[in-house]
Amino acid sequence: MLRFFKSPARFTTSLTTPVFSDATHHVRIIFDYPELATNHVWQSGEPSSVMIQYTAAVKEIEAGWAQSYQELDTVWLKRLEREKAVFTKNFKQLSKLASRPQALLVKQIEERSKSFQEEEEEFQKKIDEKIVQNRHLVVRPSFLSLSTGFLILHQRTALEEKTERMKLERYHNLCGAIARMVRLAEWENKIPPDGGTQQGLDRLAQLSEFTIILDKEVQVRQLVAKDVIASVHHLLDRLIHRRRGNADIIVRASEWKDNERAALVTFLTLQSNWLLPLAWIEDTSKESKERI
């Protein structure tokens, strides 16, 4: 504790001796405070009883302040520890609560993205159906409307229009090629036209012509056919992330697992035997060979 008190001797010696001048009588009066104070306080060289009591009171106050300071220091230290513990607990709870809405938001975005993809796919399917219907209506009066040549003609026209629309909509890529293949399979009545792209892939994987190609691929790649078929069921989910942007149709070994890559190659090989096949490439990291 800082002391703001001086002993009587130090106090008196610290006082300056004032000098007063009388301008009228030219008299200087000097007051010697130290001497007066010393004569008043000290008697026979011994401190007075007043000073003894004063000193004792000051020491008692100092001791009380030291004890109070120690008690306050202990109290505030405990309170600080409690506040720190409460803050840490609340921070952890807030962090946990903040992570929940973020995870929920990510889940909602994924669900909406999937729903949007399904709606977009359904919309594209209806457009394709309308194109085929309109081509059929244009030449319906002709005797060719019932011929095989006409069916091939309007399928080719519809397929060409879809391919051009894929480029305009920045959908001419691996994902677009797989969706185009499913639409063509529906037009040629290879599979029922009442499902989406993923359902169409599952149905195509059951065709005998798909199985023939798959058997050759798994033999060359040393894979198991049932594992490749299992990868087909979630193939569209992997393709969705690459659905935008025109690019060459490439199946890269660095982007796909072995079973997925074998499934994609089998599908693309299958469409290579159909009407107006798309050119595609399998990139095995060191060499790429174009296959049509």
Query: What's the CA gap between 133 and 127, in Å, rounded?
Result: 10
Q: Residues of the chain with pLDDT > 70: what percent?
A: 58
What's residue 132's pLDDT? 53
pLDDT tens string 30-39: 444 444 444 4
Structure tokens at 292: 């049509």
Quick one: pLDDT band at residue 109, thresholds 50, 70, 90? Answer: low
Tokens 């909602």 label which residue?
108
pTM, two decimals, is: 0.51
Quick one: pLDDT band at residue 292, thresholds 50, 70, 90? Answer: very low
Quick one: pLDDT band at residue 116, thresholds 50, 70, 90? Answer: low
pLDDT tens string 185-231: 988 889 988 778 899 999 999 999 999 999 999 999 999 999 999 99
Query: What's the CA gap between 98 and 103, in Å, rounded?
Result: 9
Radius of gyration of the chain, Cα coordinates, nearest whole angstrom: 49
Angle at 272 between CA 229 and CA 160, to 5 degrees: 120
In order of 98, 99, 111, 118, 120, the CA distances from 105 in angstroms are: 11, 10, 10, 20, 22
120, burial (CB in 10 Å: exposed 0-12, middle 13-18, buried 19+) = middle
